[in-house]
Structure 1
Amino acid sequence: MGVAVVGYGNAGRQHAQALADTPEAYVAAVVDADPRAAAAARDAGLPVRGLEEALADERVRALALCLPPGARAETAERAVAAGRHLLLEKPPARSAAELDRLLARTAAGDVLAGVMFQHRFALPEPLRRLPPQRFAGAVATLTVSRARPDAHYRQAGWRSDPRDALGGVTAHLGVHYLDLACQLLGAPVSVTPLARADAAPGIDAQLCGHVLFASGARLSVAVTSRSPARVERLTVLGADAWVEVRSGAVTGELAGTPVSGEARPAERLRAEVYAELARAAAGRAPLELAALGRARPVMAILDGLLRGEAR
């Protein structure tokens, strides 16, 4: 499956590496108007094309949108109109409402839509298809600390503009484990931001909040870029089950049965996302774990934590 990688920044390079590690797919084109990014792609031996040229190439079956969140919607619509499948970098949209519009268009256009939430593929098989009521009434905690100087979010460009970036540490670093919480706990019904500190207007560097899920499960959230510690931990404690995901490693117990999974490199997990998309595009298996529709709950949480608009 040929893929056009749209945007060759940090995320775009990660996608290109994942495609290099996926036998079922390859980089058919890199699309980036920035001369420096285009030169870097050529230096890596990748073909650089304009968007229209990539969309006209029948070998391009899918577009990987590695643009900032605020720059994706129009390109996604053009891809769907051209009948191309989509894989969106996280966070996949600026809001749950924007995500819903995109899902409606991809369904109407009969194209596949996935998202690069690769940590879903770190969950052991017993945890991948849990019914939302499995952790009914559970209490959960999420802590993510990834050091970034405030200047990282104040630099010129999209990272300092909430219209393009959506947010800071929560939307771009905490979002992976927030998504994992949704895979285990289901859909939120209320989100309460409790405390926040911004590195730039509308760009959070530290955030605490609370999420209530339809199952009755409750999640306490703490995300920061202002600590030197590197921590990624999600703990879910239910009546007869518990799960902890810590730095990619999974341990837990479901009704007395142990579950576990070793931490695996992010690049390997990204390749698994592409492998699932390629199999789905070939009609060999459904797009399941990487499906964009499964991101709706985490987008609702971001709406609530960042803008107080959960629904």
Structure 2
Amino acid sequence: MSINLALIGYGAAGKQHVEAINSTEEVNLIGVFEQDKTKRIDNYKSYSSWQDVLDDPKVDAIAFCVQPQFKTKMAIEAMKKGKSILLEKPPCLSEKELDELIEYSNIYNKVIGVMLQHRYQLPKEVFDIEWGPETIATLEVSRPREMKRYFRSWRENPNSAGGGITTHIGIHYIDIASILLGKPVSFLFEGIRNYQYGLDIRTAGIIKFSNGSVLTLAVTAEAKKRNERIIIYDRDNV
């Protein structure tokens, strides 16, 4: 049984979602709603409004590739209409919004997923290793960005972006570390440099996990060379 999915937003992230959707037989993309009518929707059905998506009985689930400040309200509206949800990261702007999404997911018995696609790039054998309390890991993420070009439109406003380089790029690799090491229980972020308040371009820190393992991290958009790596050490594995 396939899932009929509608996509909201057909920018760069939306097109990545389409590529992923088209690679699976379990999901059928039945239409796209893009508010900017100058954008070409290729060969997909184009919804004329958000309300048309909500009212379409064929839609089982909705993928949201919209600005972070709109996601919570739209996702709740969709769940009230019986639709499950897939949210491009970050899924919301605060813990309060996250709690609200979970609450409505329980009320309407609908699934909420978050798109963190980099986790599937790891080799399968990595997931078979059980990392113990003696584990220590380091995470380095360098993604060069031209600041004035990157921080524009909704990204230049902390209230709409929800953060800077750590939220929008570093989070993928923090997610990978959490899959391997378990539930994060404490965070200490230092060395933060901002493009402007609330929009970081560099972060260093320490994350502790429930199994006792520790991760040190460095995320930057200022270095000229791209690099992403995580190194994990315990008694028997590297």
In the superposition, the TM-score normalised over structure 1's length comes to: 0.71
- The offset of 1:201, in angstroms, is 2.7
| Greater relative contact order (Cα < 8 A, sep 6+) | 1
Q: Following the alignment from structure 2 to structure 1, what is the Cα–Cα distance between the partners of residues 166 and 86?
A: 21
User: In the alignment, which of 118, 141, 148 is matched to residue 144 of structure 1?
Assistant: 141
CA 1:88–1:235: 2 relative to 1, 3 Å: same
1:243-270 superposed Cα distances (whole Å, 9 cap, x missing partner): xxxxxxxxxxxxxxxxxxxxxxxxxxxx
**Residues 150-165 of structure 1 aligned to structure 2 (within 5 Å):** 150-155=147-152, 157-165=153-161
Q: Following the alignment from structure 1 to structure 2, what is the Cα–Cα distance between the partners of residues 71 and 207?
A: 26
Alignment match, 2:176: 180
1:264-285 superposed Cα distances (whole Å, 9 cap, x missing partner): xxxxxxxxxxxxxxxxxxxxxx
Q: Following the alignment from structure 2 to structure 1, what is the Cα–Cα distance between the partners of residues 170 and 161?
A: 14
**Residues 44-193 of structure 1 aligned to structure 2 (within 5 Å):** 44-49=42-47, 50-128=49-127, 134-155=131-152, 157-193=153-189
Q: Which amino acid aligns with 1:116?
A: M
- The offset of 1:23, in angstroms, is 2.2
Structure number with higher helix proportion:
1
Contact 1:151-1:199 within 8 A present in 2 as well: no
Q: Following the alignment from structure 2 to structure 1, what is the Cα–Cα distance between the partners of residues 237 and 105?
A: 37
1:174-215 superposed Cα distances (whole Å, 9 cap, x missing partner): 111100111112222221111011123311111111112222
- The offset of 1:108, in angstroms, is 2.1
Alignment match, 2:40: 40
Alignment match, 2:21: 19
- The offset of 1:80, in angstroms, is 0.7
CA 1:126–1:96: 2 relative to 1, 3 Å: farther
Contact 1:135-1:184 within 8 A present in 2 as well: no
SS of the equivalent of 2:73 reads helix
CA 1:128–1:88: 2 relative to 1, 3 Å: farther
CA 1:126–1:99: 2 relative to 1, 3 Å: farther
SS of the equivalent of 2:138 reads strand
Q: Which amino acid aligns with 1:152?
A: R
Q: How many residues are aligned here?
A: 235
Contact 1:139-1:219 within 8 A present in 2 as well: yes
Does residue 206 of structure 2 align to residue 210 of structure 1?
yes
Q: Which amino acid aligns with 1:239?
A: R
* Runs (5+) with no aligned partner, structure 1: 243-311
